[in-house]
């Protein structure tokens, strides 16, 4: 069945799902989005994603033209229209059509777009063997210029980092903040294990506050693993016992090599494996029902 895309209250087949070239989402990356996953007929952490969408909207003074309940209804309807149980959902609110100037006041009608497609999980091999990644030279945006907590359509900072990683022949890059502390990856948060503690950078360092990151911290605490949100350097990361990435699309991904340094024994470690299992168990039983 062909993918049906929701745009402002109507459904369009993929080829006809189009927006204006005068849309400031396209011209300037002026807009916000969420990437959401559904497993076995349930949408995972839907309320958390909607909460973050509303916080991003507030930060850029964008009025979402639907209530939270309405948007939730539309999202679930889009999944039903596409007969999906396991899916990746892209929810976009763009500033809307305006003129060629920057001024958002010229865009009176923000657009709501919902794309639901088959979930695109990384090759199973990555999860078994772990990823090789590099630390890229592109620094994460400084929060006082563009705060990464706003999940905006402007992802060029991340794309520049991804390009660097790609050019070095690896699928993902670790970004540092302006002071040289480990921040996050191009579309995932990062954790390391040190002396049996699970450590992740705090949001104020200039990263997106990840919903999967929060979930993993909760799951680790349940297991009695000490969890810390604190800053750390690349040198600390090189000598970590384990390293893992988290995100809606990647879920929990082990990292086994960073800048040529082997992490731990070069295979996914015991805490990472435990968290991968606990995460899959959770996604299999929790979430907002679609049907
Ligand atoms: N960091 C960035 C920059 C992201 O774009 C994402 C989402 N793809 C994440 C982290 C992970 O966030 P979440 O777990 O909420 O998907």
261-290: per-residue pLDDT in tens? 999 999 999 999 999 999 999 999 999 999
pLDDT the model gives residue 2: 83
* 64 and 205 assigned to the same domain: no
**Which protein residue's CA is at the shortest distance from atom 6 of ligand 1?**
187
* 263 and 155 assigned to the same domain: yes
* 112 and 200 assigned to the same domain: no
pLDDT the model gives residue 119: 78
- Contact at 8 Å (CB) between 104 and 25? no
3-state secondary structure the chain: CCCEEEECCEEEEHHHCCCCCCEHHHHHCCEEEEEEEEECCEECCHHHHHHHHHHHHHHCCCCCCCCHHHHHHHHHHHHHHCCCCCEEEEEEEECCECCCCCCHHHCCCCEEEEEEEECCCCCHHHHHHCEEEEECCCCCCCCCCCCCCCCECCCHHHHHHHHHHHHCCCCEEEEECCCCCEEEECCCEEEEEECCEEEECCHHHCCCCCHHHHHHHHHHHHCCCCEEECCCCHHHHHCCCEEEEEECCCEEEEEEEECCEECCCCCCCHHHHHHHHHHHHHHHHCCEECC
Question: Looking only at Cα atoms, what is the longest distance across the chain?
Answer: 57
Residue 264 in domain: yes
Q: How far apart are CA 71 and CA 84, in angstroms?
A: 18
- φ, ψ at 229 (rounded to 5°): -105, 100
Which residue in this structure is represented by tokens 């807009």?
31
Residue 291 in domain: no
Q: Give the pocket of ligand 1 (CB within 6 Å).
A: 35, 158, 184, 187-189, 208, 210-213, 246-248
* 140 and 264 assigned to the same domain: yes
- Tell me the pLDDT band of 85, cut-offs 50, 70 and 90: very high
Query: Is residue 1 predicted with pLDDT exceeding 90?
Result: no
CA of 92 to the centre of ligand 1 (A): 15
* 275 and 257 assigned to the same domain: yes
* 85 and 225 assigned to the same domain: no
**Which protein residue's CA is at the shortest distance from atom 4 of ligand 1?**
187
Query: Is residue 235 predicted with pLDDT exceeding 90?
Result: yes
In 3D space, the residue among 135, 232, 149 whose CA is nearest the CA of residue 192 turns out to be 232
**Residue ranges making up the domain that contains 149:** 124-283
Percent of the chain with pLDDT over 70: 100
Q: In Å, how far from its chain's centre is CA 50? A: 13
CATH number at residue 198: 3.20.10.10
* 132 and 276 assigned to the same domain: yes
Q: Which of 33, 44, 188 to mutate to test the pocket of ligand 1 (most atoms within 8 A of CB)?
A: 188
* 155 and 245 assigned to the same domain: yes
User: Cα dist. 223→192, 226, 271, 278 in Å?
Assistant: 16, 9, 10, 9
CA of 205 to the centre of ligand 1 (A): 15
Residue 16 in domain: yes
- Tell me the pLDDT band of 121, cut-offs 50, 70 and 90: confident
Residue 139 in domain: yes
CATH number at residue 26: 3.30.470.10
Query: Is residue 258 predicted with pLDDT exceeding 80?
Result: yes
* 12 and 48 assigned to the same domain: yes
Sign of the Cα torsion 126, 129, 130, 133 reads: negative
Where does a domain end: 117, 144, 165?
117
Where does a domain end: 84, 117, 150?
117
pLDDT the model gives residue 120: 76
Active centre residues (catalytic)? 151
pLDDT the model gives residue 288: 98
Residue 13 in domain: yes
Residue 229 in domain: yes
* 73 and 198 assigned to the same domain: no
Q: How far apart are CA 12 and CA 118, in angstroms?
A: 17
Residue 288 in domain: no
Count up the domains in the chain and report the number. Answer: 2
CA of 187 to the centre of ligand 1 (A): 5
Where does a domain end: 99, 117, 135?
117
End-to-end Cα spacing for the chain = 18
**Cβ-proximal residues to 69 (8 Å cutoff; 6+ apart), any chain:** none
Q: Which of 151, 156, 247, 282 to mutate to test the pocket of ligand 1 (most atoms within 8 A of CB)?
A: 247
Mean pLDDT of the chain, nearest integer: 97
Tokens, residue 207: 């990263």
Residue 289 in domain: no
**Which protein residue's CA is at the shortest distance from atom 3 of ligand 1?**
187
Q: How far apart are CA 253 and CA 210, in angstroms?
A: 14
In 3D space, the residue among 185, 254, 246 whose CA is nearest the CA of residue 215 turns out to be 246
- φ, ψ at 196 (rounded to 5°): 80, 0
Q: Which of 206, 208, 248 to mutate to test the pocket of ligand 1 (most atoms within 8 A of CB)?
A: 208
* 32 and 55 assigned to the same domain: yes
- Contact at 8 Å (CB) between 256 and 131? yes
* 129 and 262 assigned to the same domain: yes
What pTM value is reported for the model? 0.97
């Amino acid at each position: 069945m062909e993918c049906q895309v929701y745009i402002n209250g109507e459904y369009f087949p993929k080829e006809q799902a189009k927006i204006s070239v005068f849309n400031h989402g396209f011209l300037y990356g002026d807009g916000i989005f969420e990437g959401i996953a559904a497993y076995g007929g349930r949408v995972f952490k839907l309320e958390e994603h909607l909460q973050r969408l509303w916080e991003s909207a507030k930060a850029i003074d964008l009025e979402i033209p639907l209530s939270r309940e309405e948007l939730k209804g539309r999202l679930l309807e889009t999944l039903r229209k596409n007969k999906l149980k396991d899916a990746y959902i892209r929810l976009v609110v763009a500033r809307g059509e305006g003129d060629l100037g920057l001024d958002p006041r010229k865009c009176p009608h923000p657009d709501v777009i919902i794309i639901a497609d088959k979930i695109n999980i990384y090759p199973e091999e990555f999860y078994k063997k772990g990823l090789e990644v590099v630390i890229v030279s592109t620094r994460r945006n400084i929060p006082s210029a563009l705060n990464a907590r706003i999940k905006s359509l402007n992802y060029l900072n991340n794309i520049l980092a991804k390009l660097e990683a790609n050019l070095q022949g690896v699928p993902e890059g670790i970004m540092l903040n302006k002071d040289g502390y480990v921040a996050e990856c191009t579309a995932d948060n990062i954790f390391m294990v040190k002396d049996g503690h699970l450590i992740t950078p705090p949001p104020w360092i200039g990263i997106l506050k990840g919903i999967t990151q929060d979930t993993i911290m909760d799951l680790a605490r349940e297991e009695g693993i000490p969890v810390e949100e604190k800053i750390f350097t690349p040198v600390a990361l090189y000598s970590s016992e384990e390293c893992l990435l988290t995100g809606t699309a990647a879920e929990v991904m082990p990292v086994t090599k960073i800048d040529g340094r082997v992490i731990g024994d070069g295979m996914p470690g015991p805490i990472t494996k435990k968290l991968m299992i606990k995460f899959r168990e959770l996604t299999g039983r929790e979430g907002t029902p679609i049907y």
